Amino acid sequence: MDRLAKLPIFLDLAGKRAVVVGGGGGATWKVELLAAAGAKVEVFAHDPAPALSELAQAQPSSVTLRGERWEGADFTGVVIALLEPEHGDGEITAFRAKAKAAGAVVNVIDTPHACDFQFGTIVNRSPTIIGISTDGAAPILAQALRRRIEAMLPPGLAAWTAAAKAFRDELAARLPGKPARRRFWERFVDLLFAHDRQEEAGSAEALRRIADAVAAGDPAMAGPHLTVLTVDPLDPERLTLRDIRLMQGADLILHAADIAPAILDLARREARRMPLPADEAEFIAGLDPETPLAIVKLAAAPAAARPASSGGRTRR
């Protein structure tokens, strides 16, 4: 995997203590985010912005405004601490020391070198949440990416995701095998992006129909299946959405020797990757004919003529 400028993580803040020092616009937005994530936010601000005061009045169980100085406050149990600095490096150093002593992670607004983490741009279709970061290089780019991602998402995404989360235990009982559950989730995604089916968004009955269809068996999905994709071996940007979808649905990736690691990284983390066997037909014939196995073969297009993608699905 290529180097990551930052590790994207998602914190569970439900019922956890958060401290914010400062009452300006930057602090207000972050208080709103923390409260939306379920944190109990204590804000130390001697002159809070009107929007922050309104937020505290609207959400008294989540946001508490305190007018005293933060230095004397008890930080025990605080998991996340934010500072909007007003008094220079000395204040930042003291705040970080107090917060870190309590075990909190720290963000100092507009002071990247003093931050343990950064806030990114968010696409909120909770419980589906997408975070975008440019590591501070181009915030406008992050906002543009958010707009484009939002335009791609189906309108019922939040309802579908919430229904899927509630259905997981029932699904495990209906489909105890991992291959069957993965076929369920593949069909779930197809339904999610079917714009003519959005009236079913969030319907547990729709999820049960998918599970029942998978449990009944699909002859087309029995045994190993091979999909051949002929790709530019060096340029992952020339892969189509179909190529990526097929790769991410594969249990096994067979690849030519010159396929770049950046392309192989687009497959599922759990998928097995192996070079093309010397005798491909013998290898396929040796697989268990009763075990569902999605196989994608990545063949390198000739250098003189490299299409973005070509390929087809065959039953072996």
| 121 in Cβ contact with 146 (< 8 Å) | yes
Co-location of 233 and 293 in the same domain: yes
Co-location of 108 and 27 in the same domain: yes
Co-location of 209 and 270 in the same domain: no
**Residue 218 or 133, more confident:** 133
Please indicate, yes or no, if residue 245 is contained in any of the structural domains.
Answer: yes
Co-location of 21 and 115 in the same domain: yes
Co-location of 21 and 113 in the same domain: yes
Co-location of 182 and 233 in the same domain: no
What is the band of 76 on the pLDDT scale with cuts at 50, 70, 90? Answer: very high
Please indicate, yes or no, if residue 151 is contained in any of the structural domains.
Answer: no
State mean pLDDT over 124-151.
Answer: 92
What is the band of 313 on the pLDDT scale with cuts at 50, 70, 90? Answer: very low
Domain count, the chain: 3
CA distance 293 to 250: 8
Q: What does each C-alpha distance from 167 to 139, 186, 208, 249 come to in angstroms?
A: 37, 15, 9, 21
Please indicate, yes or no, if residue 7 is contained in any of the structural domains.
Answer: no
* pLDDT (0 to 100) of residue 242: 82
What does the DSSP assignment read for 231-257? E-SS-GGG--HHHHHHHHT-SEEEE-T
**Residue 290 or 162, more confident:** 162
**Helix pair angle (25-36, 50-58), 10° resolution:** 20
Please indicate, yes or no, if residue 4 is contained in any of the structural domains.
Answer: no
With b for 16 or more beta-carbon neighbours within 10 A and e for fewer, the 94-132 pattern comes to ebbebbeeeebbbbbbeeeebbeeeebbebebeeeebeb
Co-location of 168 and 232 in the same domain: no
State mean pLDDT over 257-270.
Answer: 90
Residue that terminates a domain, selected from 119, 148, 168: 119
**Residue 191 or 271, more confident:** 271
The rounded mean pLDDT for the chain is 87
What is the band of 186 on the pLDDT scale with cuts at 50, 70, 90? Answer: confident
With b for 16 or more beta-carbon neighbours within 10 A and e for fewer, the 44-67 pattern comes to bbeebbeebbebbeeeeebbebee
Q: Where are the beta strands (DSSP E) in the chain?
A: 17-21, 40-44, 63-66, 78-83, 105-108, 121-125, 128-132, 224-231, 252-255, 272-275, 293-300, 310-315
Long-range contacts of 269-278 (CB under 8 A, 24+ apart): 271/247
> Domain limits at 210?
157-217
Query: What is the Rg, in whole angstroms, of the alpha carbon atoms belonging to the chain?
Result: 25
Residue that terminates a domain, selected from 97, 119, 141: 119
Please indicate, yes or no, if residue 173 is contained in any of the structural domains.
Answer: yes
Co-location of 178 and 237 in the same domain: no
Q: Domain with 256 in it: what CATH number?
A: 3.40.1010.10
CB atoms within 10 A of CB 161: 19
Q: What does each C-alpha distance from 50 to 56, 59, 129 come to in angstroms?
A: 10, 14, 28
Co-location of 190 and 236 in the same domain: no
Residue that terminates a domain, selected from 165, 190, 217: 217
Q: What share of the chain is helix, strand, coil (3-state, %, to 5)?
A: 40, 20, 40
State mean pLDDT over 70-95.
Answer: 94
Please indicate, yes or no, if residue 140 is contained in any of the structural domains.
Answer: no
Please indicate, yes or no, if residue 262 is contained in any of the structural domains.
Answer: yes
Residue 314 clears pLDDT 50, i.e. is over it? no
What is the band of 203 on the pLDDT scale with cuts at 50, 70, 90? Answer: confident
Q: Domain with 50 in it: what CATH number?
A: 3.40.50.720
Co-location of 108 and 31 in the same domain: yes
Q: Give per-residue pLDDT as tens, 207-218.
A: 998 899 888 875
What is the band of 89 on the pLDDT scale with cuts at 50, 70, 90? Answer: very high
Co-location of 310 and 257 in the same domain: yes
CA distance 61 to 290: 56
Co-location of 206 and 227 in the same domain: no
Please indicate, yes or no, if residue 8 is contained in any of the structural domains.
Answer: no
